[in-house]
Amino acid sequence: MGTVILTIFIIGILIIIHEVGHFLLAKLNGVKVLEFSIGFGPYIVKKQIGDTVYSLRIIPFGGYVRMSGEDPGKNHYEKHDFLAQPFYKKIAIVLGGPIFNLIFAILVFIVAYSAVGYPVIPITKIARVEEGSRAYFAGIMPGDSIVEIDNIKVKSWDDFYGEYTKKDTNVVKIYRNDQIVSLILTGKSLDSLGIVPYIPPLIYKVEKGGAAWESGLKSGDLVLKVGNESVDSWEKFVDLIRSHPGESLSITLLRGGDTIRTIIVPRLVELTDGSKIGRIGVLLPMVYKRLPPLMSLKVSLVKSYDTTVLLLRYLVRLIRGKSSVKNLGGPIMIGKMVQSSREYGLFNLLFLVGLISVNLFVINIIPFPALDGWHVLIFSIEAVRRKPLPSSIQTWLQLVGFAFLILLMLLITFFDILRIIK
């Protein structure tokens, strides 16, 4: 029940942010707002302040801002009507919602990275060095642990990567056979570095309801074997689990000095490219690192941009038929992701909220009937034609688009339920 309430709360907040964007831009541009509503259906509560009715309705998934003069069929508009505004004002009001979602996502990412801190692995031991790489020629060996780079102490691979990529030549201090050894490491590209980090197969956290949780795995368990294969690193443990989706596996653990054997069946997970992997729901050891405010702003901007580009590319693949609508997720899938994120910590939950907010930005700028991007397209066409499109055509297209979106949401919900059943 807690996850359901939290999911509704998150979706509700993102909808409010979106509608506030439309509302404020309308007010700033002198447009009369008749109603600001959160939700659809019958009223729960409403109150009129000035010209605007503020309402909360019974269905929480949605909302709207109703402005004066939105009906394209009228012959005359007042100065404060929406459609009486010049092109640039109408575009600003329409894009206010999506842009506020994007701004909110950036702010959430900033809070996540600077106030909460993001998870990093508190280990700098090396599992493998690729032959012919920068690390290989520098004399770095498997089993070494990096302790400093250019007199800056490192406690995680994130610390090391951050300093390594700043300069072409670095002095690296490593811990080897109870001694500190200094080496010269050239280059600043991670592609040619050639270091594979060592991470012990130690379980830090178990996801409630996952395959590991059902098989009795606990935080602090050290994985010794999967089947008949010895496990000496997290990398090997993950590879074995991922390569056996839906198969019954024997797993040997070390727990408080006792050796324990149990059976685990990795859950089958289908990736966006169609490949299938196994997943059991465990997390490796982590600590949380906070970024300075300016760095968190930079990271948040980059993360928002990368997510936007990734989503647009996925939509193109979807249109071309290279990706399936089965991979899309609706409110039910969001709820499952919220539940999982809660168990993995506040950073993961905030990060998910940011991603959903970027999703709303991208979806709403698509030029499809019933979405904000459609209004931008219509107003742009009208600006070129220097006259409005017939109101009957606009109304018909809006109805068709709205019906399609409802059918799409029902289809996505159907696939969400199928995933849960499976």
Confidence of residue 283 (pLDDT cuts 50, 70, 90): confident
User: Which sign does the torsion angle of CA 53, 5, 304, 268 carry?
Assistant: negative
Share of the chain above pLDDT 70, in %: 94
CA torsion 47-52-54-60 (nearest 10°) is 150
Specify whether 359 is located in the same domain as 413. Answer: yes
Nearest-angstrom CA–CA distance, 180 and 242: 37
Specify whether 89 is located in the same domain as 191. Answer: no
Q: 372: part of which helix (H) or strand (E)?
A: helix 372-385
Confidence of residue 204 (pLDDT cuts 50, 70, 90): confident
Domains in the chain, number = 3
Q: Does 330 reside within a domain?
A: no
Residues with active-site annotation: 19
Specify whether 187 is located in the same domain as 241. Answer: no
Specify whether 96 is located in the same domain as 17. Answer: yes
Specify whether 39 is located in the same domain as 113. Answer: yes
Mean pLDDT, all residues of the chain: 86
Specify whether 76 is located in the same domain as 137. Answer: no
Confidence of residue 422 (pLDDT cuts 50, 70, 90): low
Confidence of residue 274 (pLDDT cuts 50, 70, 90): low
- Whole-number pLDDT of residue 391: 73
Q: Does 343 reside within a domain?
A: no
Contact yes or no for 278/266 (Cβ under 8 A): yes
Between the alpha carbon of residue 223 and those of residues 26, 92, 217, 231, the distances in Å are 59, 56, 10, 7
Nearest-angstrom CA–CA distance, 266 and 329: 22
Q: Does 333 reside within a domain?
A: no
Nearest-angstrom CA–CA distance, 247 and 318: 31
Specify whether 90 is located in the same domain as 134. Answer: no
397 or 14: whose pLDDT is higher? 14
- The DSSP symbol for 243 reads T
Mean pLDDT in residue range 7-19: 88
Mean pLDDT in residue range 162-189: 87
Mean pLDDT in residue range 99-107: 96
Mean pLDDT in residue range 367-376: 85
Specify whether 6 is located in the same domain as 113. Answer: yes
Mean pLDDT in residue range 354-378: 88
Last residue in a domain, options 180, 197, 214: 197
| SS3 at position 154 | coil
Lowest mean pLDDT among 9-23, 36-50, 103-117, 404-418: 404-418
CA angle at 201 for the pair 196 and 206, rounded to the nearest 5°: 125
Q: Does 214 reside within a domain?
A: yes
Residue 98: pLDDT over 90: yes
Confidence of residue 327 (pLDDT cuts 50, 70, 90): low
Q: Which of 291, 288, 193, 276 is nearest to 242 (CA)?
A: 276
Q: Does 345 reside within a domain?
A: no
- Joined tokens for residue 48: 């009129």
Contact yes or no for 266/255 (Cβ under 8 A): no
Nearest-angstrom CA–CA distance, 107 and 92: 21
Last residue in a domain, options 254, 285, 316: 285
Specify whether 100 is located in the same domain as 172. Answer: no
Q: Write out pLDDT tens, residues 292-322.
A: 999 999 999 999 999 999 888 888 887 777 7
Residue 75: pLDDT over 60: yes
Q: Does 260 reside within a domain?
A: yes
Residue 108: pLDDT over 90: yes
Specify whether 172 is located in the same domain as 156. Answer: yes
Specify whether 378 is located in the same domain as 405. Answer: yes
Contact yes or no for 333/419 (Cβ under 8 A): yes
Q: Does 307 reside within a domain?
A: no
- Whole-number pLDDT of residue 416: 65
CATH number of the domain where residue 138 is located:
2.30.42.10
How many residues would you count in the chain?
422
Q: How many helices (H) and strands (E) does the chain have?
A: 11, 18
The gap from C-alpha 296 to its chain's centroid, in whole angstroms, comes to 16
Domain residues for 179?
126-197
- Whole-number pLDDT of residue 272: 57
Q: Does 392 reside within a domain?
A: yes
Contact yes or no for 168/192 (Cβ under 8 A): no
| SS3 at position 288 | strand
Last residue in a domain, options 197, 222, 245: 197
Mean pLDDT in residue range 386-398: 77
Specify whether 15 is located in the same domain as 74. Answer: yes
Mean pLDDT in residue range 219-247: 90
Share of the chain above pLDDT 90, in %: 34
Q: Which of 121, 117, 6 is nearest to 356 (CA)?
A: 6
Which residues, at least 6 apart from 122, have a Cβ–Cβ distance to it below 8 Å? Answer: 155, 156, 285, 286, 287
